[in-house]
């Protein structure tokens, strides 16, 4: 059994971090989605690393923020929040990426990473409907399914995603989770670009598909 990490932290990503982050993301997909998505989809994430890096590079150039989770000085996950493009969404902010390697879960780092990414704003997130671990994580921090569902792209085994909203998002009868103001994000750091998604706690798989497809375009 791998011992829990010692020192943990959160910081903004730079261009120099993105290659390593791509490898971490692919590992997180394997840890999270094995048994939930076709193996061919999971294996393909290694080939998608260059596309993911290009997408993140573009996001940083356009002023977006990518938050890194660190354990003993190593990158173990990331989070990203964006302004969504769905006019029917209950709130504009979407937690579109939240990855955390298994060895860094269960110590509060995922919660800290979430609050750092979304600040004080009500938020929504799309979660793979088979990912009960993620569903439980979000309920624990004040998110609840709001009734919306969408299909993931063909080739992903026919699974769908469930939208959860919170805390204090319209239509969600859930008290606001307790937060530490140290993690409140400045409005200047709101990322207005579409983001890579997924994680071992929160996956928005279809957003990931769209993002990597866009990154492959000139």
89-141 residue pLDDT tens: 999 999 999 999 999 999 999 999 999 999 988 999 999 999 999 999 999 99
Please count the other Cβ atoms lying within 10 Å of the Cβ belonging to residue 209.
19
Task: Inform me whether the pLDDT recorded for 163 exceeds 70.
Answer: yes
pLDDT at 171: 57
Mean pLDDT of 72-100: 93
- Pair 49, 63: CB distance under 8 Å: no
- Specify the CATH number of the domain 8-215: 3.40.630.30
DSSP the chain: -PPPPSSEEEEE--GGGHHHHHHHHHHHHHHHHBTTB-HHHHHHHHHTHHHHHHHHHHHHHTT---EEEEETTEEEEEEEEEE---TTSSSSEEEEEEEE-GGG-SSSHHHHHHHHHHTTS-EEEEEETT-HHHHHHHHHTT-EEEEEEEEPPTTSTT-EEEEEEESS-TT---PPPP--GGGPPPGGG-B-S------SSB--HHHHHHHHHHHT--
Task: Inform me whether the pLDDT recorded for 169 exceeds 80.
Answer: no
Where do the domains of the chain lie?
A: 8-215
Q: Comparing C-alpha atoms, which of 99, 80, 96, 97 is closest to residue 28?
A: 99
């Amino acid at each position: 059994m791998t011992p829990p990490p010692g020192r943990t932290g959160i910081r903004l990503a730079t261009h120099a971090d993105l290659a390593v982050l791509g490898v971490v993301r692919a590992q997180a997909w394997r840890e999270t989605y094995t048994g939930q998505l076709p193996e061919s989809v999971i294996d393909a994430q290694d080939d998608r690393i260059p596309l993911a890096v290009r997408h993140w590079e573009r996001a940083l150039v356009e002023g977006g923020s990518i938050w890194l989770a660190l354990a003993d000085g190593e990158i173990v996950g990331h989070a990203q929040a964006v302004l969504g493009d769905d006019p029917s969404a209950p709130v504009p902010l979407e937690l579109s990426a939240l990855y955390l390697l298994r060895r860094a879960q269960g110590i509060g780092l995922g919660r800290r990473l979430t609050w750092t990414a979304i600040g004080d704003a009500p938020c929504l997130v799309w979660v793979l409907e088979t990912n009960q671990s993620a569903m439980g994580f979000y309920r624990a921090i004040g998110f609840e399914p709001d009734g919306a569902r969408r299909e993931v792209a063909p080739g992903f085994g026919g699974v769908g995603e469930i939208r959860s909203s919170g805390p204090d998002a319209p239509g969600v009868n859930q008290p606001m989770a307790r937060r530490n103001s140290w993690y409140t994000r400045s409005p200047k750091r709101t990322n207005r670009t579409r983001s890579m998604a997924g994680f071992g706690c929160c996956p928005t798989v279809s957003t990931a598909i769209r993002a990597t497809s866009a990154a492959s375009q000139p």
